[in-house]
């Protein structure tokens, strides 16, 4: 199991795949690259879509999402009660999913703090890749909720973890942490502070 915010588990954990040897029948990577270079553009496009579909199917069949989500609610929120950074969970031999915590903490109707994830520039709850999202009330006297969203680990998708604040009717982004899935790894690619940008 991956530590939240760390992106990917270390070698040697249960369910980790051994990539030191090629599976039976698998071509040497250099030979495979040569075959790909010889393909027409439309063939490469269809192949990429097929790979993406297989990655999604493996994630969907990964295992017990109920247990994963229960565990994520236990470890996925920091002392500020907002979500920690997304992380990858390995489920079985071939199943990989991304766990994305989110939360909103309201002090009043016009004042709150929040942190949520966008996927390829779409809020995670609107993403076509969303496998499941569970919400629970936030503990404590303040209003709000916590959420755990589950995504398939698909190469090429981009995540932004967006922290914001609403005050006196205005809603602004404060900080963004960006990730991209590269070669089956969730890689942090940047962070930035944002001043005065509206959050929708």
Residue 190 covered by a domain: yes
Q: Regarding beta strands 95-108 and 170-182, do their DSSP bridges make them parallel or antiparallel, or are they unpaired?
A: unpaired
**169 assigned to some structural domain:** yes
Residue 28 is assigned to a structural domain of this protein: no
pLDDT mean values, one per 10 residues, the chain (200 residues): 47 40 58 78 70 64 78 93 93 80 88 94 94 87 88 93 85 93 94 71
pLDDT for the residue 141: 63
- Residues in the chain, total: 200
Extended beta strands in the chain, E state: 87-91, 95-108, 111-119, 122-123, 132-137, 143-152, 158-167, 170-182, 185-198
Range of the structural domain that residue 98 is part of: 65-198
The whole-model pTM stands at 0.70
34 occurs within a structural domain:
no
Q: How many domains does the chain have?
A: 1
Asked if residue 92 belongs to a domain, the reply is yes
pLDDT value for 180:
97
């Amino acid at each position: 199991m991956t530590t939240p915010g760390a992106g990917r588990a270390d070698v040697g954990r249960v369910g980790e795949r051994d990539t030191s040897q090629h599976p039976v029948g698998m071509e040497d990577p250099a030979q495979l690259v040569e075959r790909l270079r010889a393909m027409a553009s439309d063939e490469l496009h269809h192949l990429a879509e097929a790979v993406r579909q297989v990655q999604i199917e493996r994630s969907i069949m990964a295992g017990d999402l109920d247990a994963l989500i229960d565990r994520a609610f236990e470890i996925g929120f920091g002392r500020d009660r907002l979500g920690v950074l997304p992380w990858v969970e390995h489920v079985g031999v071939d199943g990989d999913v991304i766990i994305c915590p989110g939360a909103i903490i309201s002090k009043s109707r016009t004042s709150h703090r929040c942190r949520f994830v966008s996927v390829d520039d779409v809020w995670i709850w609107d993403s076509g890749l969303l496998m499941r999202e569970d919400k629970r009330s936030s503990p404590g006297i303040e209003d709000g909720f916590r959420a755990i969203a589950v995504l398939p680990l698909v190469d090429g998708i981009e995540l932004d973890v967006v922290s914001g604040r609403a005050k006196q009717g205005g809603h602004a982004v404060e900080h963004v942490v960006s990730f991209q899935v590269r070669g089956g790894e969730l890689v942090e690619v940047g962070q930035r502070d944002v001043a005065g940008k509206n959050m929708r």
